[in-house]
């Protein structure tokens, strides 16, 4: 499962990435809206974990961008704003979940796992080509194609 973390606080970004990697998730990280948008444009993510307030973009705009480019991707918003209006605004903008800062990583991980269970299949089918990112398996016209590691990550 691939997760994109968009968080402008560098130490928090690194902590989240390190912890997710420890639990076996493939991760990418961005510290701003622009770079996050770039990653979303070039790669499929099962989940995007993003800060609601970024230095170069609005949370609602970010959710809209993610859902437009990849409607099946789950979006979890993080925010230090703990008022219910911010949470409602994020959810109405299309976010699938909202977590309040400071983060408890055990709770965050449980919520991520729950979101990913709801996500369905990540299998990509294009005519005779079938790519299964979860199994790291590629099939073309019924024949398995051997592609592992970095080349597979680039493809997915």
- Per residue in 12-65, pLDDT (tens digit) is 999 999 999 999 999 999 999 999 999 998 888 999 999 999 999 988 999 999
| Shared-domain flag, residues 6 and 66 | yes
| Shared-domain flag, residues 98 and 132 | no
Query: What confidence category does residue 72 fall into, taking pLDDT thresholds of 50, 70 and 90?
Result: confident
Tell me the C-alpha to C-alpha distance, in Å, between residue 37 and each of 29, 66, 97, 100: 11, 8, 19, 23
Q: What b-and-e string marks burial along 119-129, b requiring 16 or more CB atoms within 10 Å of the CB?
A: eeebeeeeeee
Q: Residue 13 maps to which CATH number?
A: 3.40.50.2300
- Per residue in 95-107, pLDDT (tens digit) is 999 999 999 999 9
DSSP category for residue 8: S
- In the block, tokens 């976010």 appear at 95
Range of the domain at 77: 2-118
DSSP category for residue 73: S
| Shared-domain flag, residues 112 and 139 | no
* Nearest Cα to Cα of residue 133 among 142, 120, 143: 120
Beta strand 74-79 with 97-100 is parallel
| Shared-domain flag, residues 52 and 81 | yes
| Shared-domain flag, residues 94 and 18 | yes
- Whole-prediction pTM value? 0.77
Statement: residue 120 has pLDDT above 60 = no
| Shared-domain flag, residues 102 and 137 | no
């Amino acid at each position: 499962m691939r997760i994109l973390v968009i968080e402008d606080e560098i130490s928090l970004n690194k902590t989240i990435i390190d912890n997710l990697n420890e639990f076996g998730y493939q991760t990418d990280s961005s510290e701003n809206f622009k770079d996050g948008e770039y990653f979303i444009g070039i790669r499929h993510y099962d989940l995007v974990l993003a800060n609601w307030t970024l230095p170069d973009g609005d949370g609602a705009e970010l959710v809209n961008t993610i859902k437009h480019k990849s409607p099946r991707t789950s979006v979890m918003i993080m925010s230090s704003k703990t008022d219910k209006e911010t949470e409602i605004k994020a959810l109405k903008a299309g976010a699938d979940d909202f977590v309040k800062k400071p983060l408890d990583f055990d709770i965050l991980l449980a919520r991520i796992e729950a979101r990913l269970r709801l996500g369905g299949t990540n299998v990509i089918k294009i005519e005779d080509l079938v790519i299964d990112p979860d199994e790291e398996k590629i099939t073309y016209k019924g024949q398995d194609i051997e592609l592992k590691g970095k080349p597979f990550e680039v493809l997915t």
